[in-house]
Amino acid sequence: MSKELIAAYSNGYERLKEAIRTLSEEEMHYKPGHNKWSIHEIIVHLADAELVGIHRMKRVLAEDNPALTAYDQDAWANSLGYSGQDAGRSLELFGLMRSMMVPVLESVEGADWDRCGIHEEAGPLTLSQLLERYVHHVDGHLAQMERVREAYREHSV
Ligand code: NI
């Protein structure tokens, strides 16, 4: 497994922290559409997704072909009151979870990267594919956050 991928995974926290560093509360809570997430909600989502992601990666590492369940991310955001949760603490938790997971990933050897879990929607996923998904997950949401900021700027003119 490439060290670059683990480094990219590790950098996710700093990239997110930098992305929201200068944002006002109003910008954090701005929703670009009725069913669209605010940047605040995206941050809380990223922490919850990380909980799930680390659970999945640990299961794949420790168990043989575990079943990986899907979850309804919009139901989590609505039912768990993401907009009222503490995004700052969510981001800290995200960073702490990644920093705890990095040494685990660094200790994975050779063929163990091909260990597999069976995702109920995506089918078989190897550990390396899961790690890639969680690296790209942050990339995707950083791009989304940039679109929300643009919408906010247009809306505020
Ligand atoms: Ni997501």
**Region 130-143 average pLDDT:** 97
pLDDT band at 1 (very low <50, low <70, confident <90, very high): low
Tell me, in angstroms, the distance from the centre of ligand 1 to residue 155's CA. 24
Tell me, in angstroms, the distance from the centre of ligand 1 to residue 50's CA. 10
17: domain CATH number? 1.20.120.450
Q: Calculate ∠ Cα 68-125-129, nearest 5°.
A: 125
How far apart are alpha carbons 133 and 117 in whole angstroms?
14
Q: Domain span at residue 66?
A: 3-156
DSSP state for residue 120 in the 8-state scheme: T
Count: domains in the chain: 1
Strand partners, 117: 125
How far apart are alpha carbons 64 and 46 in whole angstroms?
27
Tens of pLDDT, residues 78-96: 899 999 999 999 999 999 9
Asked whether residue 157 carries a pLDDT value surpassing 80, the answer given is no
pTM listed for this prediction = 0.95
Tens of pLDDT, residues 28-74: 999 999 889 999 999 999 999 999 999 999 999 999 999 999 999 99
Q: Write down the pLDDT at residue 2.
A: 80
Tell me, in angstroms, the distance from the centre of ligand 1 to residue 73's CA. 8
Cα Rg of the chain, angstroms: 16
How far apart are alpha carbons 127 and 19 in whole angstroms?
28
Cβ burial of 99 (10 Å; 0-12, 13-18, 19+) is exposed
How far apart are alpha carbons 153 and 147 in whole angstroms?
10
Q: Write down the pLDDT at residue 156.
A: 80
Tell me, in angstroms, the distance from the centre of ligand 1 to residue 87's CA. 15
